[in-house]
């Protein structure tokens, strides 16, 4: 019986001013996915979910792993009966690319089973089918980061293309994850508050920050990258809509304590802070105090760029 | 008598999707500026202009070099009588950063005379006073490139900051300079046609291209940079307004012939093409044919990133 086990990391998309464009895979949480070929001659996929967050996500045919697996089987012409066992380690609904990690694991795993017939760009597209199940339309930033690892630039459009940024490996992030109730279709809500029109001036400021962020990552310069993490287009809208509790307070405190930069992780409510590792303890404690003062429980995790999806058995 | 001679290169600003943000200094044309201290106790600057384009630019007190020199004298508290002799080598009104080159030369030269009291960011600001004379408001992209050399990222806002991108030194460009009449206040006209509002979708596409352009420059990858040179926000507006003759035809032909990317140089009408040096002859000839077919004379020049302003005597 053919069998593969794959793990794929969480990711933070919409990095700073890189809305729908920049993402990073982080080693704080992983999904693991086992695929077993249990029959041939028919395309059928069954899904079982275990792990820390199994109760918070759709089981069976509503699970995102189904999309990429079926898409890959169709595209390759293979007729296989596949059993998928998902160990759900990435918390959903927190802006941590949870469905992207599952989708990436699924695309990577089925490609392994099929003998590696798809290239990276094709895998991103295949993984996007999982995101389509999760939120109605595919967003390729999360899946790209979880697939390829590290920092990625995504080209939008019908023909998705992804560039892995070689750089930023030494960056260290703090991830602040508030345990608040989030809306059922959080991503949709978070997108609905974004302005459809942007002033030329805001566009120019955003462009300048994005250029610094990419340059800072490519040259392993966290000070330049942190300067470029400032976003006031998408973040402002989401913060104003109350989707990212205590964002301004936490950002201000982190920068005061020496962090290089702060942004929302994905569509929030989690917050991503770029800071030297030796500051993580101190910043983490202060953030915890801010959340506590409003009665919000939060996990604060020190994390680093992760490798992409990989075969672990 | 204290005396200094400085030269500063031309530049292409608004690089691809980097409107007001990205620029590159190129070695096709230079301004040279001689400053002589002819007296003390009073702040006075006289200007003489020579060189290929001396008849096309303001002489005397309307010349851009006055702004940076006076600003630097004021900021430093020095009272000097200075004679400035500008050898004008960068064609004005062509999108080649002509006034930026003069402004950069002026800022750099007066700083040399004063013993290097200003740092790079301050020099950019001082040079911007020249651009204010040329077009009513300072644009720091051209002056930054002419001052620092190579590719630069400019942060807009009251406190200008500039990052020199280390990379792209091996890039080779073709510069197509049509000899057409341009409006008196070309930069103002070229800015007036740009939309004040941009759709979120265009913003995202532009961001993705900008990220690729910066990453391609930083990693010396002209294929990735060329992919990122596509702009359809500012360029579209200027091309539609008839400010960049034959832009689409020339761009299409250059890409067909193997160029990596094409964009408008500054506010136009010149066009910048990123292509391997061994293609320059062929592409250049074909572009010349396209201009000729519409009765437009044009200079086609093979060029490369230039060093910034420097002391030559």
Domains, chain A, in order of start with CATH, read: 3-166+306-311 (3.30.230.10), 173-303 (3.30.70.890)
Distance CA A162, CA B263 (A): 22
Residue B230 contacts A where some CB pair is shorter than 8 Å: no
pLDDT for residue B180: 85
Q: Calculate ∠ Cα A242-A209-B303, nearest 5°.
A: 160
Distance CA A36, CA A45 (A): 10
SS3 content of chain A, % helix, strand, coil (to 5): 40, 25, 35
Q: Is the pLDDT of residue A78 over 90?
A: yes
**What's the full length of chain B, in residues?**
313
Closest residue of chain B to A16, computed from CA coordinates: B207
CB contact (8 A) between residue B155 and residue A22: no
Closest residue of chain A to B205, computed from CA coordinates: A156
CB contact (8 A) between residue A207 and residue B233: no
**The dihedral of CA A225, A229, A230, A234: what is its sign?**
positive
**A226-240, A249-263, B87-101 — which is least confidently predicted?**
A226-240
Residue B190 contacts A where some CB pair is shorter than 8 Å: no
Q: Which residues of chain B carry a pLDDT beneath 50?
A: none
Q: Calculate ∠ Cα A113-A310-A52, nearest 5°.
A: 100
CB contact (8 A) between residue B198 and residue A197: yes
Contacts of A229 in chain B (CB under 8 A): none
pLDDT for residue A132: 75
Mean pLDDT value across residues A2-24: 96
Closest residue of chain A to B16, computed from CA coordinates: A207
Q: Which of A152-166, A167-181, B149-163 has the highest mean pLDDT?
A: A167-181
CB A225 within 8 A of CB A165: no
pLDDT for residue B128: 87
Residue A246's contacts (CB-CB under 8 Å, 6 or more residues apart) are A178, A290, A291, A294, A296
Mean pLDDT value across residues A23-48: 96
pLDDT for residue B313: 83
Please give the structure tokens belonging to residue A242. 């109350």
Residue B38 in 3-state DSSP?
strand
Q: Is the pLDDT of residue A204 over 70?
A: yes
Percent of chain A with pLDDT over 90: 77
CB A143 within 8 A of CB A103: yes
User: Packing angle between helix B98-113 and helix B140-148, nearest 10 degrees?
Assistant: 50
CB contact (8 A) between residue B21 and residue A200: no
DSSP at A63: S
Closest residue to B204, CB basis, from A21, A166, A214: A21
Residue B267's contacts (CB-CB under 8 Å, 6 or more residues apart) are B14, B95, B186, B187, B190, B191, B238, B243
Distance CA A171, CA A95 (A): 20
If one compares A27 and B157, the residue with the highest pLDDT of the two is A27
Q: Is the pLDDT of residue A60 over 80?
A: no
CB contact (8 A) between residue A153 and residue B200: no
Residue B204 contacts A where some CB pair is shorter than 8 Å: yes
How far B279 CA sits from the closest chain A CA (Å)? 26
If one compares B193 and A134, the residue with the highest pLDDT of the two is B193
CB contact (8 A) between residue A219 and residue B214: no
CB contact (8 A) between residue A195 and residue B194: no
Residue A159 contacts B where some CB pair is shorter than 8 Å: no
CB A1 within 8 A of CB A40: no
Residue A305 contacts B where some CB pair is shorter than 8 Å: no
Q: Is the pLDDT of residue A245 over 70?
A: yes
pLDDT for residue A1: 62
H/E/C letters for each residue in chain A?
Answer: CCEEEEEEEEEEECCCCCCCCEEEEEEEEEEEEEEEEEEECCCEEEEEEECCCHHHCCCHHHCCCHHHHHHHHHHHCCCEEEEEEEECCCCCCCCCCHHHHHHHHHHHHHHHHCCCCCCHHHHHHHHHHHHHHHHCCCCHHHHHHHHHECEEEEECCCCCEEEEECCCCCCCEEEEEECCCCCCCHHHHHHHCCCCEEEHHHHHHHHHHHHHHHHHHHCCCHHHHHHCCCCCCHHHHHHHCCCCCCHHHHHHHHHHCCCCEEEECCCCCCEEEECCHHHHHHHHHHHHHHHHHCCCCEEEEEECECECCEECC
Residue A204 contacts B where some CB pair is shorter than 8 Å: yes
Contacts of B215 in chain A (CB under 8 A): 153, 163, 165, 214, 218
Distance CA A312, CA B109 (A): 62
CB contact (8 A) between residue B212 and residue A19: no
The CA–CA distances, whole Å, from B68 to B73, B100, B117, B145, B146 equal 8, 11, 14, 16, 14
DSSP at B269: S
DSSP at B24: E
CB A271 within 8 A of CB A247: yes
DSSP bridge pairs for B273: B174, B262
SS3 content of chain B, % helix, strand, coil (to 5): 40, 25, 35
- The greatest distance separating any two alpha carbons of chain A, rounded to the nearest whole angstrom, comes to 62
Instruction: Label the pairing between strands B271-274 and B173-178.
Output: antiparallel
pLDDT for residue A53: 83
Residue B233 contacts A where some CB pair is shorter than 8 Å: yes
- Provide the number of CB pairs (under 8 Å) joining chain A to chain B: 113
Q: Which of A256, A257, A268, A258 is nearest to A231 (CA)?
A: A268
Residue B115's contacts (CB-CB under 8 Å, 6 or more residues apart) are none
Give, rounded to a whole angstrom, the gap between the first and last alpha carbons of chain B. Answer: 14
Please give the structure tokens belonging to residue B50. 């020579």
Residue B253's contacts (CB-CB under 8 Å, 6 or more residues apart) are B283, B286, B287, B290
Residue B55 contacts A where some CB pair is shorter than 8 Å: no
């Amino acid at each position: 019986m053919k069998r593969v086990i794959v793990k794929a990391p969480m990711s933070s998309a919409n990095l700073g001013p890189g809305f729908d464009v920049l993402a990073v895979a982080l080693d704080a949480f992983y999904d693991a996915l086992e695929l077993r070929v249990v029959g041939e001659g028919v395309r059928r996929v069954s899904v079982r979910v275990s792990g820390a967050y199994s109760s918070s996500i759709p089981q069976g045919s509503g699970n995102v792993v189904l999309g990429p697996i079926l898409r890959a089987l169709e595209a390759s012409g293979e007729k296989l009966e596949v059993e998928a066992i998902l160990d759900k380690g990435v918390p959903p609904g927190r802006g941590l690319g949870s469905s992207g990690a599952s989708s990436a694991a699924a695309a990577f795993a089925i490609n392994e089973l099929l003998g590696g017939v798809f290239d990276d760009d094709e895998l991103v597209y295949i993984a996007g089918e999982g995101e389509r199940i999760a939120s109605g339309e595919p967003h390729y930033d999360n899946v790209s980061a979880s697939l390829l690892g590290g920092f990625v630039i995504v080209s939008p459009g019908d023909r998705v293309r992804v560039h892995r940024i070689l750089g930023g490996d030494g960056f260290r992030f703090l991830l602040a994850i508030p345990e608040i109730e989030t809306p059922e279709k959080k991503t949709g809500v978070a997108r609905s508050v974004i302005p459809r029109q942007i002033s030329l001036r805001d566009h120019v400021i955003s462009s300048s920050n994005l250029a610094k962020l990419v340059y800072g990552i490519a040259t392993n310069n966290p000070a330049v990258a942190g300067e470029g993490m400032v976003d006031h287009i998408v973040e402002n809208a989401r913060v104003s809509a109350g989707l990212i509790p205590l964002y301004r307070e936490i950002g201000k405190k982190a920068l005061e304590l020496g962090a290089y930069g702060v942004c929302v992780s994905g569509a929030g409510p989690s917050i991503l802070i770029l800071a030297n590792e030796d500051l993580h303890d101190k910043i983490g404690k202060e953030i915890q105090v801010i959340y506590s003062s409003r009665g919000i429980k939060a996990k604060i995790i020190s994390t680093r760029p992760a490798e992409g999806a990989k075969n672990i058995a």
